[in-house]
A = this chain, B = another copy of it.
Amino acid sequence: MPPTELEIIRKIEKLAGRIRRSWVQLGIGDDAAVVQAPAGHQILLTTDQVIEKTHFTKETHPPRALGHKILARGLSDIAAMGGQPLCCLLSLQMPGWATGAWLSAFLSGLLRLSKNSDAPLVGGDVARGRLLAAVITVVGSAPADEILTRGGARPGDIVYVSGRLGGSAAGLEKLLRRGTGNPVPRDRAVRRHLWPEPRLSLGRQLRKLGATAAMDLSDGLAMDLARLTKASGAGAEIDAARIPLFPGASLKQALHGGEEYELLFTLPPGLPPPASFEKIPLTPIGLIRRKPGVELRSASGMQKLKPRGFQHFDR
């Protein structure tokens, strides 16, 4: 017989452990959690979900990686705003098969990242569902009036990306190619897809460096740069030869592959960032311009870069 809702909540509470973070006044167990933001900070809020057969399958995604990834996605949004995490909340929809070892592994992946990134699990909800789904809300904070948004890029600003792109898409392809039941291949691109690292300290650093705009790359460079420029009331041109490729990834994967969780950001031309930060390369790939739209310069000349990326409802 599957465990009751209460038994599952107790298991989560036990695995989450006692929260020892000065800013958490009340964690799991009351009607609401209570947290205290640092003085002078505003609250950052983001929510994200992974759904079986939409975002992952039991076969391709080990539960530990999935638990890590859902929290990493939320933390990546906090990073993109230049913020620091305060806590997270988790809602689970659970089929019977997932309530035992699968849940333990999922939680261990999530809670490890939660501890390492100072984002304790303070609440959530558990209910039965036919397919597994997990929704995370991540709460963060940043000094008022210093928060990075997508809307601040100005014509003449330089466009940068952190890290190397296309690895997540290349890794997913490898995962899908292996036969059902085969072990997860040991491969850098696969690892990149399964275990993305939110760029939290880089995000805070960009705030201090005077970045004019920032966002995280979740739906592909082409689509996300279109969003950033639109929010800024501007356009951009980028240079194909400058886009840093993940080893083994194609330009197409770098332009249109989702789930990178690197940061896309802009800085005025007079404020170049260091070439890398905590070993993550920071690469200039183009320029913000007044004319709307995004164009790609390559050996065959300039062409419009269509905002085609990863969209669930289009599949």
Query: Which residues in A have some Cβ–Cβ distance to B below 8 Å?
Result: 2-8, 25-26, 29-37, 42-49, 51, 53-55, 76-78, 80-81, 83, 86-87, 89-91, 93, 122-131, 133, 135, 137-140, 144, 147, 149-151, 215-216, 231, 311-315
The answer on a CB contact under 8 Å between A42 and B31 is no
The listed residue (B7, B26, B37, B312) touching A37 by CB distance below 8 A is B37
Q: Which residue of B lies closest to A81 (CB)?
A: B32
Residues of chain B within 8 A (CB-CB) of A123 are 45-47
Contacts A30-B81, A80-B32 known; A122 to B5 CB distance under 8 Å?
no
Q: How far is it, in angstroms, between the C-alpha of A135 and the C-alpha of B89 when the chains are bound? A: 11
Residues of chain B within 8 A (CB-CB) of A55 are 127
Q: How far is it, in angstroms, between the C-alpha of A276 and the C-alpha of B138 when the chains are bound? A: 38
The listed residue (B51, B122, B311) touching A45 by CB distance below 8 A is B122
The answer on a CB contact under 8 Å between A313 and B31 is no
> Nearest 9 pairs between A and B by C-beta?
A32-B46, A5-B313, A31-B80, A31-B77, A32-B44, A135-B135, A137-B137, A4-B313, A33-B45
The answer on a CB contact under 8 Å between A81 and B34 is yes
Q: How far is it, in angstroms, between the C-alpha of A30 and the C-alpha of B35 when the chains are bound? A: 23
Residues of chain B within 8 A (CB-CB) of A135 are 47, 49, 91, 125, 135
Q: How far is it, in angstroms, between the C-alpha of A135 and the C-alpha of B86 when the chains are bound? A: 20
Q: Which residue of B lies closest to A43 (CB)?
A: B35
Q: How far is it, in angstroms, between the C-alpha of A126 and the C-alpha of B219 when the chains are bound? A: 14
Residues of chain B within 8 A (CB-CB) of A87 are 45
The answer on a CB contact under 8 Å between A2 and B313 is yes
Residues of chain B within 8 A (CB-CB) of A231 are 29-30
Q: Which residue of B lies closest to A307 (CB)?
A: B6
The listed residue (B86, B126, B215) touching A31 by CB distance below 8 A is B215
Residues of chain B within 8 A (CB-CB) of A26 are 147, 149
Q: Which residue of B lies closest to A140 (CB)?
A: B32
Q: Which residue of B lies closest to A25 (CB)?
A: B42
Q: How far is it, in angstroms, between the C-alpha of A90 and the C-alpha of B123 when the chains are bound? A: 16
Interface centre among A5, A89, A137 (most CB of B within 10 A): A137
Q: How far is it, in angstroms, between the C-alpha of A49 and the C-alpha of B137 when the chains are bound? A: 13
Q: How far is it, in angstroms, between the C-alpha of A144 and the C-alpha of B35 when the chains are bound? A: 10
The answer on a CB contact under 8 Å between B45 and A35 is yes
Q: How far is it, in angstroms, between the C-alpha of A45 and the C-alpha of B144 when the chains are bound? A: 20
Residues of chain B within 8 A (CB-CB) of A311 are 4-6
Residues of chain B within 8 A (CB-CB) of A315 are 128
